[in-house]
Amino acid sequence: MKPVNSEWFTEYCEEGGSAFSLQLKEKLHDETTPYQRIEIYATTHFGNLMVIDGFVMLTARDNFLYHEMMSHPALFTHPQPRRVTIIGGGDCGTLREVLKHPGIGHVVQVEIDERVTRLSEQYFPELCESNRDARVRFDFGDGIRRMKEAGAGSVDVIIVDSTDPIGPAKGLFTEDFYRDCYHALGSDGVLVQQSESPLLHYDSIIRPMHRAMRAAGFSDSISLQFPQPCYPSGWWTATLAGKKSVREFRSGDAGKKPFPTRYYNAAIHQGALAQPEFFLTG
């Protein structure tokens, strides 16, 4: 979980028997908050890098893959999303993508560690360009408690943009949490959550997530795959769950989206719905 020398940062993935390294220019920031250690580096090829507790959170170069797939598929799956809650997402990249949708009326972002957001504003300003949008309210607190207290049917889409299911984030991967999300969602409600690597975490995280989501009341769930070079294995997922089917989406609207993206489009969305054989048989 530390640089192998003064010029490289390396994240070791013990369960995968692998590691990922980025060449560094310099360390820009290092602090320990009440919740975690946050480090910011300048890299030679991936722009600025944020590391939390030794794990790569994002780089300037490839974060668009993750943020677009955490937001647009869910929003184009819901028939008319207006009220969105983001749990986590302190770097504000997902928030920026959500606010590209003109129909969005209100977004609450619940991030437990305000320092993630403040450091993102400093070192990743391109991700925070919508932070002053009048439709946004920041709630620096516990997302699990927020969902437990949310009113019935008060949200259209919930986006769980969390860290790995360890420490404070562990409770975001439980049936109890999904049940609270189900209660908070309207009749067409959609939940999406980052769900790790299908190569490394299918049995340990992805399959249990689907079981817990269904047990909490969701009628459908599916994991969308996409590349993510800076995360273990380079292959990542976002898992959708809905009160109705999440296997169809507003493809016409996605095809005519009135905003730019770098990865997401209607064809990418359709392709991401295709499931690897081991998802179907495992």
The tens digit of pLDDT for each residue in 22-65 reads 999 999 999 999 999 999 999 999 999 999 999 999 999 999 99
Right CATH for 8-59 from 2.30.140.10, 1.10.3720.10, 3.40.630.30, 3.40.109.10: 2.30.140.10
The one catalytic residue among 30, 161, 164, 253: 161
pTM of the model: 0.95
Which part of the chain has CATH 2.30.140.10? 8-59
pLDDT at 171: 84
* 265 vs 282: CA distance, rounded Å: 29
Is 161 catalytic? The answer is: yes
Place 281 in a pLDDT band, splitting at 50, 70 and 90: confident
How would you classify residue 17: left for phi > 0, otherwise alpha for psi between -120 and 50, otherwise beta?
left
pLDDT at 4: 47
Q: In this model, does residue 166 exceed pLDDT 90? A: no
Spell out the alpha helix ranges (H) of 99-218. 114-123, 143-149, 175-184, 198-201, 207-215
CATH superfamily of 63-281: Vaccinia Virus protein VP39 (3.40.50.150)
Q: In this model, does residue 1 exceed pLDDT 50? A: no
pLDDT at 3: 47
Which part of the chain has CATH 3.40.50.150? 63-281
Nearest by Cα to 268 from 258, 257, 278: 257
pLDDT tens, residue by residue, 210-236: 999 999 999 999 999 999 999 999 999
